[in-house]
Amino acid sequence: MLILSSPSGAGKTTVSRMLLEADAEIGLSVSVTTRPMRKGEIDGKDYIFVDRAEFERRVDEGEFLEWAEVFGNLYGTPKAQIKAGLKEGHDFLFDIDWQGTQQLYQRMETDVVRVFLLPPSIEALEQRLRSRATDSDEVIAARMARARAEISHWDGYDYVVVNDDIDACFETVRGILETERLSRARQTGLIDFVRDLTRES
């Protein structure tokens, strides 16, 4: 379970997209959300869209590995599909904030790798947000305040990468993924393979 977190505008969505395109062995964890569907999004592919009552029912039933409220909308990671996928040896990419990261790590500790992306400077981050030309000054100010709060949790991650060049940042994150896959604990079928190697004929 590879977690990519960053403040808004620091590149996690771009790096996530690059990773999913480059690596067929990892799939995006599809979150359940109460936020309205945006143009071009597909229910079940980008998010699983539900109303607040349905989301709260799923919380009460214990169906989420983690969930959080962000800007008035609820987001959660469905437990059943992740656990089933991990059992079959699949890797999952998570684009979640530090709250979700904490919850996920508490529940699935050994299966989780936490990567935090930092902007090269706070000025560069604000410039990236303004260059989108989609938000008002008030929304950008709120995002900047949230960005500073997010950045303050950098030390709760296994790896921290400064994104001053998107291609270099992607290669670093890809290297982290490949290295973590070689961990003895994560190699499915390794015990049987070594037993076969050491068995006397």
- CATH class assigned to 2-188: alpha beta
d(CA 33, CA 199): 51
Residues in the chain: 201
Question: How many other C-beta atoms can be found within 10 angstroms of the C-beta atom of residue 100?
Answer: 23
Cβ atoms of 30 and 95 within 8 Å: the answer is no
**Residue ranges of the alpha helices (H) in 8-156?**
12-22, 52-60, 79-87, 98-108, 122-131, 137-151
| Token pair in block for residue 165 | 């060049």
Average pLDDT of the chain is 91
What letter would DSSP give residue 37? Answer: P
Residue 7: phi, psi to the nearest 5? -65, 155
* Local confidence band at 201 (pLDDT 50, 70, 90 cut-offs): low
pTM for the full model?
0.83
The radius of gyration of the chain's CA atoms, rounded to the nearest angstrom, is: 18
| Token pair in block for residue 109 | 């500790």
Domain boundaries, the chain: 2-188
pLDDT for residue 27: 92
Say whether pLDDT at 170 is over 80.
Answer: yes
Residue type, 134: T
| pLDDT digits 0-9 by tens, 20-76 | 999 999 999 999 999 999 888 999 888 999 999 999 999 999 999 989 888 899 999
Residue 66 burial (10 A CB sphere; 0-12, 13-18, 19+)? buried
